[in-house]
Amino acid sequence: MVIHQGDLYWVTFRSGRGSEPLGRRPALILQHDRFNSSRLNTVVVVAITSNLRYASLPGNVRLRKGEGNLPKACVANVTQIQTIDRACLVQKIGTLPRHLLRRVWEGVRLVAEVNDE
């Protein structure tokens, strides 16, 4: 399976502990293509939620219905970055436009920023 950074997939999340996503939901491929084309069996993704209340949280990106071929409005939840097995990628939905992928990356940087304290 060939995957690319910015692709959207239906993913089966299996953990579901605490606040972790569980079940089938969209996810954004965050991992760089140099790793996507390697022999790694894992991929780094950002979970996407249909709970639009998450759009108000710092760094999260609201996505409209149809963007990247998404079936409804949703939110890229940058606090839900996960490494998953490629076998969890069920079906490609589409590809997020570059300007939205950049906004997601800005949110990821906000979450993963090094403290200057």
* pLDDT 10s digits, 36-92: 999 999 999 999 999 999 999 999 999 999 999 999 999 999 999 999 999 999 999
How far is it, in rounded angstroms, from Cα 54 to Cα 62?
Answer: 8
Amino acid at 113: E
φ, ψ at 51 (rounded to 5°): -80, 100
- Give pLDDT, residue 1: 76
- What's the pTM? 0.90
HEC string for 35-72: HHCCCCCEEEEEEEECCHHHHHCCCCEEECCCHHHCCC
**pLDDT surpassing 90 at residue 109:** yes
Q: How confident is the model at residue 117 (pLDDT cuts 50, 70, 90)?
A: confident
pLDDT score of 13: 77
pLDDT class of 18 with cuts at 50, 70, 90: low
Contact (CB, 8 A) for 88 and 14: yes
Return the closest-CA partner of residue 74 out of 98, 46, 102: 46
If you average pLDDT over residues 83-111, what whole number do you get? 95
The confidence score (pLDDT) of residue 19 equals 60
Are 28 and 104 within 8 A, CB to CB?
A: yes
Q: Is 81 exposed, middle or buried (0-12, 13-18, 19+ CB in 10 A)?
A: middle
CATH number, span 7-109: 2.30.30.110
Q: What percent of the chain shows pLDDT beyond 70? A: 93
